[in-house]
């Protein structure tokens, strides 16, 4: 899948261009608005449904010393080929993290995703452990790359079968506009959830553009 090839390219870019980050600020905050293109692939035993659409959201974070708290909320409509009814896609997460070293963050927390239609709501809930690596691109500290991977420790879904497993990956680049506190980020993320026994698998891919302020 070409999107996953892009994710791999971003990962290689981040690791091959890794430079030691400058000392992180002890107190830090971030508030961003987001827009993205989302693609959802739902595979059941005898059926595959692909949907896509535009999503919008907010993300915010605060960091004190080496601890942090981050939140993210995204909502939009996705349409499946041949279907006349749109589905509301809603996703939110709240993560508690720690930076043991300047360029590496370890995070834990819940993430929930819902698909809302007139027929009802399908809701996935994930409890995830994450690791995020950040590095300067070239020698300019205003231009950074990042890679974040996660594994679902436990989860639930209001479906016929219990939750099985899940994992995900996000990578991208960020730019701090010179002489401002404005940050721009371009990223790609993919995550997958599976019901027990593999009776249903769901993969969500997003291309993300975020613009915000941070200090």
**Does the pLDDT at position 12 exceed 70?**
no
Longest dimension (CA), the chain: 55
Answer yes or no: are the C-beta atoms of 156 and 163 closer than 8 Å. yes
- What pLDDT shows up at residue 183? 93
Tell me the two tokens of residue 175: 């730019």
Q: Would you place residue 102 in the very low, low, confident or very high pLDDT band (cuts 50, 70, 90)?
A: confident
Instruction: Report which secondary-structure segment, H or E, holds 5.
Output: helix 2-16
- Top pLDDT among 84 and 21 is at 84
Q: Which residues pair with 142 in a beta bridge?
A: none
Answer yes or no: are the C-beta atoms of 146 and 167 closer than 8 Å. no
Average pLDDT along the chain: 86
Q: What is the pLDDT of residues 28-46, one digit of tens each?
A: 889 999 999 999 998 987 7
Q: How far is CA 207 from CA 35, 125, 152, 185, 210, in A?
A: 8, 22, 21, 11, 10
What is the extent of the structural domain holding 128? Answer: 2-214
Domain count for the chain: 1
Q: What is the pLDDT of residues 118-143, one digit of tens each?
A: 888 999 999 999 999 999 877 777 88
SS3 assignment, position 65: coil
Q: Which CATH number does the domain housing residue 48 bear?
A: 2.40.128.100
**Does the pLDDT at position 214 exceed 90?**
no
Q: What is the pLDDT of residues 138-168, one digit of tens each?
A: 777 788 899 999 999 999 999 778 899 999 9
Q: Would you place residue 47 in the very low, low, confident or very high pLDDT band (cuts 50, 70, 90)?
A: confident
Separation CA 191–CA 138 (nearest Å): 29
Q: How far is CA 120 from CA 87, 144, 175, in A?
A: 10, 42, 41
């Amino acid at each position: 899948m070409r999107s996953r090839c892009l994710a791999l390219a971003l990962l290689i870019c981040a690791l091959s261009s890794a430079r030691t980050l400058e000392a992180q600020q002890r107190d830090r905050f971030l508030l961003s608005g987001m827009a993205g293109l989302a693609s959802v692939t739902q595979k059941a035993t005898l059926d595959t449904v692909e949907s896509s659409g535009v999503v919008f959201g907010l993300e915010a974070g605060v960091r004190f010393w080496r601890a942090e708290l981050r939140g993210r909320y995204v909502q939009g409509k996705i349409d499946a080929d041949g279907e006349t009814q749109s589905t509301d896609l809603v996703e939110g997460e709240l993560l508690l993290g720690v930076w043991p070293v300047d360029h590496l963050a370890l995070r834990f927390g819940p993430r929930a995703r819902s698909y809302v239609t007139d027929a009802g709501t399908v809701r996935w809930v994930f409890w995830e452990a994450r690791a995020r690596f950040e590095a300067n691109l070239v020698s300019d500290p205003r231009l950074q790359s990042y890679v974040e991977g996660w594994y679902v420790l436990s989860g639930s879904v209001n479906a016929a079968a219990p939750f099985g497993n899940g994992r995900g990956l996000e990578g991208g680049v960020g730019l701090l506009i010179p002489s401002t506190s404005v940050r721009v980020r371009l990223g790609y993320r993919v995550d997958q959830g599976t019901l027990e026994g593999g009776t249903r698998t769901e993969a969500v891919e997003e291309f993300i553009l975020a613009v915000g302020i941070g200090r």
